[in-house]
Structure 1
Amino acid sequence: MLDLTSERARLLDFARGAVHPDGGFGWLRTDGSLDLSRGRELWINTRMTYVFALAGETELVQAGLHALRTDFRDARHGGWFSVAGEPGDKLAYEHVFVVLAAAAAGDDALLGEALEVVETHFWEEHFGALSDVRSRDWTQVEAYRGANANMHGVEAMIATGDPLWLERARRITRLLTGGVRVIEHYDPIWRPQPHYNREDPTHRFRPYGVTPGHGFEWARLAFSLGFEDEARLLFSGAIHDGWDGGGFVYTVDFDGRPVVRARLHWVLCEAIAAAAVLGEHDFERAWWALAERFIDREGGSWWHELDSENRPASTVWDGKPDVYHALGAVAASLAA
């Protein structure tokens, strides 16, 4: 199997190129150069801060935290901007990554602030889950609820180690798991919306249909919370839906037929991580062998997308902005 310690070092070396001259972290192109034409995005900054915290890269962690305290913070209404210095709607998906980064960095002040924002503005006690998008001043709530933001919310809640937030993580998991597939899209009272984004099937964060990669992520998280039966069912369902004989597809419809056949690196990463956590080591080894298709030894990091013939592509993702999933897979296998 791949030398995971060396792979970890290789990924971190690539990630260091994301340091932005204006503070925090920016978007990396395919060749590892920093794309200065793009604004600094909150989800990138928080994920990079998180992975550097796990790696013990103190100086880089402080760079990410400083950007969160300054350029990303909305001093008027609280919370954080999606793009540094650009007022706009507030996303639960991004705010829970502030929680995750602060927890990993051991920044109790920032963690307390982030949890207060999430509890006050996104947590819906009646449903036991998070809303998705609110206006900058928090007065308007988008008529959409999504599994993706809640999944990463569960991850962040687990990272806090706080009993209250751990129980909330369990409540979300009970709401959204229990079958072979995770339904992604809902209305404000959590009724499934199976046709959501049918006309935009390659959406990066809200694709139409079922996302097998999220089945693997949910399996890993559910298992860590003690939902072993649910975790194994999701793991099996993600393999059944996602595997097309040569790799994992991005999305399928509700009959399990592929919709977007592109192979995204994060799907394989989450499959590996879930296999490691659930003790499915034959799958884990086989999928690490498959990862060689994604690993770009010349350019660095992993190709973020391959087409159905396993050639580098960019229909869903451009560049290589994210080492979070690949490092997560490495960490899960090293810990197993």
Structure 2
Amino acid sequence: MTLSIDRSIAAEAAALRAHFAQTVLLIWRGPGFNSTLQLPYEAVGADDHAPLPALRYRAMACARQLFVFSQSGEVAHAEQLFHAMRRYFYDPTHGGWFYSVDAKGKPLDTTKDLYTHAFVIFACAHYATASGDRDALRVIDDTASLVQARFAESGGALLHAALDADFSTVRTGPLQNPLMHLTEAYLSAYETTGAPDFETALARLADAVADRFVHEATGSIAELPIGSADNRLEPGHQFEWFYLVKRAGPVLAQSGLEAHLARAFDFAQRHGVDRATGGVCAALDESGGVKDSTQRIWAQTEYLRALATRGRDEDLETLALQIPRFQARFLHARGWYECIAPDGTVARADMPSTTPYHLATAYAALPI
């Protein structure tokens, strides 16, 4: 990598971080935060940052905001979110975490959702690191134990995506996305606590994903177990998995996922990234045909992070071009565009409270 490219990437990354600190965080400390309930609104308007009508609040959205403010060093705001998450979403009867509460903070959707539980573990790991709050460590341990005891397939290593409130009935079987975020959560929990049980759980989970979700022809990790009808391959998730497996290093080595994802990266980049705009599409079919052409901001951030993580000279050259294309296409003075059509039309203009998590994780991986 030449010195000029190095300097270019550092300057571009600094501009992204400045926009995040000066624009994005201000939204969610201010108009995007319900100071009465101490919960983030689901979304705010693009022009005036006014909260969209509050029909629900999700535990996952609260957890993502807890991560964002913990990582940003704003521990006082993070502490409010941590206590609100426990107050509204924890189920004192059956254990675990409700999916959502209503506009008044009463349980709404009492589904026990693996995606939600993964983000509780993930966010509490970062909050514990930032704050030293030992209650967060207890939440990590209790939630991880519950996940292994309640969500596991009978006789298998995979975990169900959703169960009913008392864990007695499976609503949705194993899906890629919650398993990926559980991988992310266990990595963060292991880094925070050093507990070897998380290392063991990571290796077991990776082996199961490799066995049931890898599309052998491309190395991609599919959204549904291989052989499911109407399956799809999401480029953004290939880039996201690539980062996670690289970060885990030898912990996941036995699974073979690193070799698979090296091929998946190339497949996703070749078929899922628009050469003219750099936009990453939402989904491909198993032959590389575009299945969903929508360009969602989170997939763009995962492409930036994956390029920085692979870090070859050609990746960094691409990254130096991709950052300003991303900035021009998806960011604006009052925030960001959530979804864009291939022709550049804004497909979703409001700004969800969940998106700053994606911005923060991507920007943290970019060179300084």
TM-score (normalizing by structure 1): 0.87
Percent identical residues: 22
How big is the alpha-carbon RMSD for the aligned residues of Structure 1 and Structure 2?
2.1
- Give 2:273's match in structure 1, choosing from 229, 243, 257: 243
1:192 matched to 2:227:
yes
Distance 1:259 1:318, change over 3 A: farther
Indicate which of 205, 214, 222 corresponds to 1:183.
222
CA offsets 1:114-161 (integer angstroms, 9 cap, x no match): 212212212448432321101101001125210100000000000011
* Offset from partner CA, 1:254-297 (integer Å, 9 cap, x none): 11111111111000100111111221322322221221234433
Note the 1:5-84 alignment, pairs <5 A.
5-10=17-22, 11-17=24-30, 18-20=32-34, 21-31=36-46, 32-84=49-101
Distance 1:265 1:143, change over 3 A: closer
Greater share of residues in strand: 2
Deviation at 1:225, TM superposition (A): 1.9
CA distance in 2, matches of 1:87, 1:74: 12
- Does the aligned pair in 1 maintain the 2:186–2:198 contact within 8 Å? yes
Q: Report the equivalent of 1:202.
A: none
What is the CA–CA distance in structure 1 between the aligned matches of 2:68 and 2:359, rounded to whole Å? 10
Deviations 1:175-227 (A, max 9, x none): 334653111113xxxx53132xxxxxxxxxxxx52111000001111111225
- Whole-Å separation in 2 of the counterparts to 1:115 and 1:294: 39
Matches within 5 A, 1:299-318: 299-300=334-335, 302-314=336-348, 318=350
CA contact (8 A) 1:194 1:209 kept: no
Bigger Rg, which one: 2
**Aligned partners of 1:263 and 1:310 also within 8 Å:** no
Structure with the higher fraction of residues in helix conformation: 2
Following TM superposition, the consecutive aligned residue runs of length 4 or more in structure 1 with deviations greater than 6 angstroms are none
1:295-325 CA distances to partner (integer Å, 9 max, x unpaired)? Answer: 433322x2110111122113xx853332111
Look up the match of 1:89. 111
Q: Retained in 2: the 8 A contact 1:7–1:330?
A: no
| 2:88 counterpart SS class | coil
Q: Which sections of structure 1, spanning at least 5 residues, go unmatched?
A: 196-207
CA distance in structure 2 between the partners assigned to 1:5 and 1:146 by the alignment: 32
Distance in 2, matches of 1:176 and 1:293, equals 36
Q: Distance in 1 between matches of 2:365 and 2:152?
A: 29
Alpha-carbon distance in 2 for matches of 1:295, 1:143: 33
Matches within 5 A, 1:1-336: 1=9, 2=12, 3-10=15-22, 11-17=24-30, 18-20=32-34, 21-31=36-46, 32-84=49-101, 85-106=107-128, 107-124=136-153, 126-161=155-190, 162-177=195-210, 179=216, 180-186=219-225, 192-195=227-230, 209-226=232-249, 227=253, 228-245=258-275, 246=277, 247-279=279-311, 280-300=315-335, 302-314=336-348, 318-321=350-353, 322-334=355-367
Query: Displacement of 1:23 after TM fit?
Result: 2.1
Alignment coverage as a number of residue pairs: 316
SS of residue paired to 2:347: coil
- Over 3 Å counting, the alpha-carbon distance change for 1:231 and 1:256 in structure 2 is closer
Partner-residue secondary structure (3-state), 1:313: strand
Choose 81-90 or 98-107, whichever is displaced more.
Answer: 81-90
Kept after mapping to 2: 8 A contact 1:303/1:320: no
